Every structure is written in C-alpha cells, then in structure tokens.
Chains A and B, each alone.
Chain A
C-alpha cells in the first residue's frame, strides 16, 4: 500500500530533521577530545578549556557569587587541595577541603594587600590531620589597585605552585579588567542617553517657546494646546525610569514633537503616518525613534527646499515590526554617513544616529542595526527592524502625573 508507505515517510520527516540536526551538532562539537594530538597538546587543551569555563563568571565582576562559581574552576586549573578568593576585607569564596582556615586568611594577607606582592606562608594548623600545611597568596590587581587575593593551599611548599598561582592571579586580573571595561562601556551608553535627553533642550526649547509665543495673541487656544504638547513631550523625554518603552508611547511623543515643529514651520512641513495597530505594543529602547525623526525634519527643512514631506510607517512583518522614516530633503553623502555611524563624525554631527544604531545593536543583536538609504539630494530613508520579543526587553508604561 503506497499511500501508507508515503504517510510513514512523511511522518518520519520531522524525526529525520531532528536527527540530522543532532548529528550535525555532534560533528561540529565533538564530545570526546581523545583524537586531538599528543598528551602535551591534550593537556594544553584541557587547561584552556578549564580557563574558558572560569572566565564567564569573572566577567561579571568580583562578588561572592561569581567568586564561588569561578573558584571551583580555578582550583581545577591549579590542581590544589584548597583555593580561596578574597576581596580587600573578607573571604569571598573557599573551594576544597579545610574550610576552617578561612577565618585566618585575612590576617595572613595583612602584608600583601597594601603592597601588592605575592607571599607564601605556613598555615600553622593545630589539626594534625589537616592536609593544608603551606599556602601561597597572589594579589589580584586591576588598574594598579589591589582588589583582593587568590590563595592556594598545598600539603608542602612548592615553587611550581607559587609560580602557577601568580600566573592564575594575573589571568583573573585581566578578566576583571575586561569586566571593568564592559561596565564602563555600558556607562558610556547610559551617559549618551542622558546627553541625548539633555540635547533636546537648548535649540528645540527656544524655538518651540518662540513659536508658541507667536500664537499667544492671535490664537490663544492653539498656544495653550501647544504648551501642553510641550509639557507632555518634555515629561516623556526626561522621564527617569525604564530603559524600554512601547512603540505606541514613542510614536505618541514623536507626534507631540511634530506638532511643535509644525507650529514653527507651518505649511513647509507635511507629515504622513501609516501605522499598523498590531505593532503598537512592541517594546523598544527608550528614545530610539525620536532622534531619527528629528534628523529627518532637520534634513528636510535644510537648504532651499520650500516644502518637505516626511513619511513615518510602522508595519507588521511576521515576528518583527518594521519602522520606516523617510524624508525628501537634501540627503547625505553615503561616506559621510558611514563615518558618523562609526562614531568618527566629529562633534558637529551629533550623536543621534550612531547612538540609536549602537543601542539597537546592543539590545537586539548586530542583525538589527539601522538600515539607511540615502544620496546627495535624494532624501533619506531609515529602516528600523524591531523583534516582537527579546528576552529581557520589557517596556514600562508611561509615567502619569503623580498628582
């Protein structure tokens, strides 16, 4: 019965797919390393593997939790009976036997921590059965500051262990320096967001207020409306909590921004919005579309153009939302744009575009950077793709009036 056979074959398709996937994985990452080189090479690989396992926790900085996780690996790396990680004041983690020594460690390190020199000492343990008789302590130094120490214990003194402990402590230091680097990079981005919020203020605030002032006598109702738009817009832009927002809130703020801009430029600026309601709940980094619109307004109205049209569209595209911001302004030399995105644009270029690009990549991955199509005199089209779900990205609703 061919129908039955074919059906069975079809049913097997998913199984075959899964089987093939597993087989491919197995081939790509062989479980056994037995076929790799000589014993020396094998030992090298083992060491590097252990080191690579110890690295990830350390990249989060030196805390009790990360020290506990990495101490296990570091002890394997050194092959000692016990290993201890401390900061400047307390023991963070003890791995291995003889935990009663942990109480005495800090006294022993009194000489090491201020100087940053390695030291070896006898344990002087009263317990005759205790295997820990000798220890070597090596400092963990980040930016020429002693953060703590790594103490390795052994049954007897050993020059090899002293040397190895030194090297491992240095390796730990490097990992912690990298952690410090990660942190400062995040701080830079945070500072840039703050700068971005601050950047909104001077020109925009003067121009908006001037535009509003011009309506106060002729059209007081409009002036009042605009002032309230202005208040809402600044409240959103200066809000302090939450790294993420929803597309609906971001678009709402853009609408207020455009209302203020149009109060100033009147008929010179035409705006078209096309928004699919399905994508409004999408979460995205705070203030990551507004700078793009600001950019489009600036480009559109620069030069001798009498009228400018800006189109903003947000469409549903499967598991992603696609936001396109387009203007018919003066455009830009692609090479100059590339420089700006690389962060080499100089202070005059502003930090809007490159900051948005960088934050999108940081949150959603490198696949989700800005896509910009432009040429001199050809306008500019910026496409942003936002995945509908990404672990850890949760928007906060808008802050309402505390009153």
Chain B
C-alpha cells in the first residue's frame, strides 16, 4: 500500500468533514429565501444522514473480514444490520417520533413518568454507546497501521481527537449534511473500487474462490479474537441465532440512530425516512460481502492473522495493482475514515447529550464540552486496554445489550398500556444488565472456552426473553403503578399529529367548532409509508408553504 496517496485521502476526508460540519450553514440567507431556510429535513436527506451515521467500521471493514474467513454464513451480519430497520419501521419509528422524545431517556420519562426509569435508561445508553465506540476506534487504529505502519493506538487517538474537537467546538452543527455526505462518500469508496476489482477478477480468469467447509481458523494464540472464533465454530447455529436476535431487535435502541429521528417533522415522515434508510443501507451492504469473496481469492493469507478486517483496504492493491490500485486504495482508506468519523461523532454526541443532561450535575454549553471529552475518553481508554476483537463481533455485543434493554422498553412502551415503571426497571436491569455483564465478561476474557463462553459472547438469545419476561411479569404484578396519563400518552403516540390536535382543540373550544372529522387534513388519514405521495407534500416545510399558497389561490 502506497502511503503517498492514502494519507492525503484520509486527511482530505477529515478536513471536508470538519468544513461541512462547521460552515455548511454559514451561508447567509435573506428573508426572501425563508422557505428554503425553513424547510425541514426531508426524508431522503435524513435517511442518508441516518445511514451515514449507522454504517460504521463494522460494516465497512468487519463484514468483509468475516466473510473472508468464515464464508457465506457470515452474510447474516449484513442481513441483520439491515433487517433491524424493518423492525424499527414496523413497531417503533412513527410512535417514537410522535412522543416528541429526543433521546431514549426522554422517551422513558415521557411514557412512564418516572425519573428513576430515566436514570437507568441513561446509564444503559451510555454503556451501549461506549461499547459501540470501542470497535470504531480499534478499526481506526488497524486502518492507520496498515496505511502507514503507525502504532495501533494512534488511529483511535486521531479519530477521538478530531471528533472531540469538532463536537465540543460546536463544529457539528449542520450534522445532517455531514452525515449525509459521509453516506455517499462511503458508498462511492466501496462502489468504484468494486467495479475495478470485478474487472481485474474477470481479467484474471474469473474463477470463483473456494470456501472450505470447515473454516481454517487463525492459528491458536494468534490474537484475542480467538475464543470468539472457536466458540462460533463450535456452536454455529446458536451463534447465528444470537446474532440475528441482537441485530434485528437492537437497531431500534442505538442511541445515535434514535436522535436522528427527532429531525423528522412528524411520525409519517419518520416512517418514510426509515423506508429510505432500508433502501440505502440495503444497497450498501451488497458491496462488503463482495470484498470478502474476492479477498478469499486475492488475500487468503489474512485468514491466519487476526487482521482479516483489513481485507477491504488491501484488496485494491493486490487485485488491481500499480497506480490505479494505489489510488483506489486511497479512496477506500478515505471511506473507512469517513465510517469511523461519522459513527464516532454521532455516538459521541448522543452519549455526551445524555451525560450532560442526566449524569453531570449542571447544564450549559461548558458542561456539554466536558461531557464530550468524558464520552470519548472512556472508550479510548478501553481501546488501549482491551485487546482486539473482530470489529463486527464487538459491535454485535453493543447490539445485544440494546436489544435486551431498549427493545422491550420501546416495544412494550409503545404497544402495551399496562407497562409500569417498576416493570420497566426490572426488565431494563435484568435484561440489559445481564447482557451488559455477559459482554463485559467476554471482553475481559474471564471464560475462554466451552458453552459458557458461547452463551456469554452471544447473550441476546437468552437476555432478550429475560428482559421481556421481567418487564411483563413485574408490570402485571404492579397494576397499581400504571402511570396516570397513560391513555393520553398512548393516544399521542398512535394518532397522527393533526388528528390529536383537532380533538383537543374541539374539546377546548367546547365543541363550538365543526366536528373534528370534517376538519382533518388529508395527512390525518395517513397510511403506512410506502404509499406514493406527491413529493411536494413530503416536506412539511413546503407543506405549510403550499398550504398558504393554495389559500391564496382559493381567495
């Protein structure tokens, strides 16, 4: 790999990210452009932002690495990462937006009217965020090492420093544009080289690679990912189910994903956004397995090292070679850094927001900066202390904790009116707590082999039912503490916004106006997204403007 091209590429990505973040909205606007200035973020832009933030090191590097070593079985990873949004779309997206919550603790407080639940959720959000940040920083370390030969810790420290500086200085103000840009950058960084790689493969004869029936594992003692690798090989069915449960149900609770939905102006837009996200990341995930597949052909020796995650970075140089290979390699490296930066900054903002609101004593801008530093220091310390686990596996553990704590909270909170604060507490502590403990024990390598290790490394299969059961049983046992405003909250969660208001307005005005039904706008009868609407009405900013224009025409 030629560093003369790779380093400028990484530097350019960092610079462009900071510049768009800081100056994207400095362009002044006059009042005549007000409709442009006040247009809310449309579903497609917001979806690109969510996808940009979501596609992390695990997707960019990890999936290809796992496919390279273990073969097509690992396709469950991209499937799981994508299908999580389907569950989110069906059960959570619109009601969560209608609740008005910005973070998960906000949702817990609004639905259950309990500060205690809020505190527990806050702690879990911080835990999940940190778990998710560690592999991002490790991936950055690996990438920089392969590009320049720098020590492992340097890449993580670099990403951490850039993110802390950008977030703390308020440089991530136009974060939607930054993240949307990162999505298209990541897609380009995989799509263009993939095209050339396929050409090269065709030139070399086009023979498909052979995946052995039993994957040849890294030689024993080769790396710390070892116990996870062996237990996956020993119990493949259990491990796959653990992965499926964690990723399908865990996506809805990821702190950096939840906050992005706040940007949607209403529940219907949130649902439309999720559909776009499904399309965008579904398309993206076609590419990493291709890299793993070709990696098997061009870099088979990676299976014997713990650095299989590097396959994506090394492939262009191996397969294409020459100047073209170097340039493509630089493009991929830039994309990888975009992945670390976008996910890390999104997570840091989410974790810092929760820390500054619920954990640190006072509020204010200075405390948010302090919280940012704290949010990044702990995972950075973790990167230096914990030895490398394959990126996709480490991220899978964050998904498992999220699936066992936030999934029961969100699904039952939205769909079951008998949920009580004690029930939610029990579910969060038993489900999320046990998953968090299991994951921590895995990272600490307390148990190194056998069934127990497998159970701890893929906890979702048992911890998700534990979380749901605890929540349901304790809620049923404490019917007296159902929050007093449950009916009102549930109404707001499930009715389209325009309907809710018509009812309250009519009630407030003593029924002096016409009945609510006659006043409801077409958006009041919203059907699940996917129904085609004219693009003009998908932007509420323009809805209000077209609304007033049509009034003008009417008179």
Contact = CB atoms under 8 A, between A and B. Distances in A.
A76 B175 CA distance: 57
Contacts of B123: 14, 18
B127 interface: yes
Contact of B385 (A10, A14, A251): A10
Nearest to A11: B440
B547 interface: yes
Most chain A CB atoms below 10 A, which of B33, B34, B170, B554: B34
Nearest to B98: A394
A389 B444 CA distance: 37
B514 A391 contact: no
Contact of B31 (A255, A393, A400): A255
A146 B258 CA distance: 54
A319 B353 CA distance: 6
Nearest to B488: A394
Interface stretch (B102-110, B277-285, B419-427, B463-471): B102-110
Contacts of B28: 272-274
B100 A255 contact: no
Given A8-B444, A275-B37, A397-B497, A248 B544 contact: yes
Contacts of B541: 248, 277, 280
A261 B170 CA distance: 33
A315 to B, nearest CB: 5
Given A273-B34, A275-B37, A316 B544 contact: no
Nearest to A367: B363
A280 B265 contact: yes
Contacts of B551: 228, 232, 401
B504 A241 contact: yes
User: Do most interface residues of chain B lie in helix, strand or loop, or is the interface mixed?
Assistant: helix
B486 interface: no
Contacts of A3: 385-387
Contact of B505 (A13, A242, A270, A403): A242
B387 A278 contact: no
B30 interface: yes
Interface stretch (B38-46, B145-153, B199-207): B38-46
A278 B176 contact: yes
Nearest to A224: B552
Most chain B CB atoms below 10 A, which of A18, A270, A388, A398: A388
Interface in B1-43: 25-26, 28-31, 33-34, 37-41
Interface string A228-253: 10001000000011100010110110
Contacts of B236: none
Nearest to B507: A241
B188 interface: no
Interface in A240-289: 240-242, 246, 248-249, 251-252, 255, 258-259, 262, 270-278, 280-281, 283
A317 B505 CA distance: 32
Contacts of B174: 276, 278, 316
Nearest to A392: B110
Contacts of B514: 402
Contact of B501 (A11, A242, A255): A242
Contacts of B497: 397
A319 B356 CA distance: 9
B457 to A, nearest CB: 15
Contact of A255 (B34, B441, B498): B34
Nearest to A311: B28
B263 A278 contact: yes
Interface string A281-299: 1010000000000000000
A270 B26 CA distance: 17
B38 A255 contact: yes
Contacts of A399: 505
B172 to A, nearest CB: 8
B60 interface: no
A241 B38 contact: no
A6 interface: yes
Interface in B519-555: 519, 521, 540-541, 544, 547-548, 551-552, 554-555
B173 A273 contact: no
Contacts of A255: 31, 34, 38
A7 B441 CA distance: 9
A400 B547 contact: yes
A315 B171 CA distance: 11
A244 B378 CA distance: 39
Interface string A201-240: 0000000000000000000000000001000100000001
A273 B31 contact: yes
A4 interface: yes
B176 A277 contact: yes
Contact of A389 (B38, B103, B175, B521): B103
Contact of A273 (B37, B266, B357, B387): B37
Interface string A367-403: 1000000000000000000001101011111111111
A32 B386 CA distance: 43
Given A4-B444, A394-B100, A400-B521, A315 B173 contact: yes
A318 interface: yes
Contacts of A249: 544
Interface string B314-354: 00000000000000000000000000000000000100110
A232 B113 CA distance: 37
Nearest to B113: A391
A68 B555 CA distance: 57
Interface in A1-30: 3-4, 6-11, 13-14, 18
B509 interface: yes
Contact of B110 (A14, A248, A273, A389): A389
A249 B368 CA distance: 28
Nearest to B26: A274
Contact of B349 (A14, A242, A318): A318
Contact of B513 (A275, A278, A388, A402): A402
A277 B263 CA distance: 8
A14 B127 contact: yes
Contacts of A246: 265
Given A255-B31, A281-B40, A319-B356, A7 B113 contact: no
Q: Which 7 A-B pairs have the closest CB atoms?
A: A388-B102, A241-B505, A11-B440, A389-B106, A6-B385, A7-B444, A319-B353
16 contacts: A7-B445, A10-B381, A11-B443, A14-B127, A228-B555, A248-B541, A251-B34, A259-B31, A274-B25, A277-B39, A278-B176, A280-B38, A389-B101, A400-B519, A401-B554, A402-B513
Given A274-B28, A319-B102, A402-B514, 15 more contacts: A3-B387, A13-B378, A18-B123, A228-B555, A252-B38, A272-B30, A273-B31, A273-B37, A273-B38, A275-B29, A280-B38, A280-B265, A281-B265, A315-B25, A394-B492
